[in-house]
Amino acid sequence: MNELLRVEQLRVRIETRERQVTALDLDHISLQKGEMLALVGETGSGKSLTASSILQLFPTAAARITGGRVLFNGTNLLEASPSVMNGIRGKEISMIFQDPMSSLNPVFRIGKVMLEIIRRYTGAGKKQAKQLAEESLKFVGLPDPSGIMRRYPHELSGGQRQRVAIAMAMVCKPKLLIADEPTTALDVTIQSQILYLINKLKEEEGMSVLFITHNLGIVSQMADRIAVMYAGSIVETGRTDEVFRFPRHPYTRLLLDAIPRLRERRDRLPVIAGTAVLKEAAGGQGCSFAGRCPRATKRCTAEKPQLRAVVSSHEIACFHPWEEER
């Protein structure tokens, strides 16, 4: 079995004083060894929450996993003890975050955290750890690694910081790297360098990558497979080329249509009418896209479509998928 990660029936609730919502109701996603899966969706669709659930690190205390399984190499992480979980974080699964400005502690030198991670997992001596840290800083393309380690985060540029973050995430050679919108906060020129780096990790180190983004352009270039999320659920998943060539779910199709293309002349870009609403507010049943879907029928508002395979490795959750190519 080559499956590294499988997430099944994951449900996450967010409970605040004012309201409670099911923010995530995920059918399943899976990730093979050495593969890059892109998790795509608009803001608030639950892609970051999915990533957080895998490592169980939520940004707020209000989020709670209420069901499902996260299988990593066959073990369910949701049932793992906190100490086992801590042994997996950073060593087996690591993560790169969206905003390199806020993801590094401003009052510590870069080297401090890096050395702590290395020594924690490798038992290396001070000298050896320093060497490992410098190697990974060099790998991410930072000149003068030993100088960087003595710097504070605010002395580095955004791009440098994100490289540092990648170096920290990869320093223990994890099997799975979760990249949560790693380029969103960066300049376009730096974006491509960071993407190149992540691709290099996958190709040269054989890491599996769960790549979270709302940028379909990036996905089409890099990902082996794609999973499209809408309002906390997966609506379509399959091989990237296949989904791009033949998107079957109405939402995916509308999403792809919204990408501007060089060849075409259009006066204005198409938009998807309406806004995404989490299900609780809409009554709790039916397809969550039904309210905005041009193909919705009565059935769509009454019953929630399950993720099913239409052809091998191409799954959709829709009662009325498109049957012809774009």
Partner 1 sequence: MIRFIIKRLLLGLFVLAGVSVITFTVARVVPSDPAARWVGPRANAEQIAAARIELGLDKPLPQQYITYMKGLFTGDWGTSIRTHQPVLRELLSFLPSSLELILAGMLIAVVIGIPLGVISAVKKDSWIDQLTRTFSVGGVSIPTFWLGLILQLVFFRQLSLFPLGERVSTNTSLLYPIDNWTGFYLLDSLLQGNFDFFKDAALHLVLPALTMAAYPLGLVIRMIRSSMIDVLGEEHIRVLKAYGIPAWRRVFVYGLKNALGPTATSLGLTFAYALTSTFLIEAVFSWPGLGMYASQAILANDYPVTMAITFLVTVTYILINLLVDVVVAMLDPRIKLYQNA
Q: Which residues bind partner 1 (CB under 8 A)?
A: 55, 57, 59, 86-91, 94-95, 97, 99, 102-108, 113, 116-117, 120-121, 152, 154, 165, 168-169
Q: Which is nearer to partner 1, 116 or 242 (CB)?
A: 116
Q: Which is nearer to partner 1, 108 or 306 (CB)?
A: 108
Q: How far apart are CA 87 and CA 93, in angstroms?
A: 9
Please state the closest distance from residue 194 (CB atom) to partner 1, in A: 16
Please state the closest distance from residue 125 (CB atom) to partner 1, in A: 19
Please state the closest distance from residue 37 (CB atom) to partner 1, in A: 18
Sign of the torsion angle spanned by Cα atoms 52, 56, 59, 62 = positive
Half-sphere exposure of 220 (CA within 13 A, CB side): 10
Please state the closest distance from residue 104 (CB atom) to partner 1, in A: 6
Q: Which is nearer to partner 1, 43 or 189 (CB)?
A: 43
Q: Which is nearer to partner 1, 120 or 214 (CB)?
A: 120
Q: How far apart are CA 270 and CA 282, in angstroms?
A: 25
Report, in this order, helix, strand and coil percent for the chain, each rounded to 5: 35, 25, 40
Q: Which is nearer to partner 1, 8 or 99 (CB)?
A: 99
Please state the closest distance from residue 95 (CB atom) to partner 1, in A: 4
Q: Which is nearer to partner 1, 3 or 99 (CB)?
A: 99
Q: How far apart are CA 164 and CA 111, in angstroms?
A: 10
Q: How far apart are CA 121 and CA 182, in angstroms?
A: 24
Q: Is 166 helix (H, G, I), strand (E, B) or coil?
A: helix
Measured in Å, how far apart are the chain's first and last C-alpha atoms? 34
Please state the closest distance from residue 121 (CB atom) to partner 1, in A: 7
Q: Hey, what are 224's tokens?
A: 């082996």
Please state the closest distance from residue 245 (CB atom) to partner 1, in A: 35
Q: What is the dihedral of CA 150, 154, 160, 165, to 10 degrees?
A: 80
**CB contact at 8 A, 255 and 215:** no
Please state the closest distance from residue 68 (CB atom) to partner 1, in A: 20
Q: Which is nearer to partner 1, 113 or 277 (CB)?
A: 113
**CB contact at 8 A, 158 and 190:** yes
Q: Which is nearer to partner 1, 93 or 278 (CB)?
A: 93
Report DSSP letters for 174-223, one per residue.
Answer: -SEEEEESTTTTS-HHHHHHHHHHHHHHHHHH--EEEEEES-HHHHHHH-
**CB contact at 8 A, 95 and 88:** no
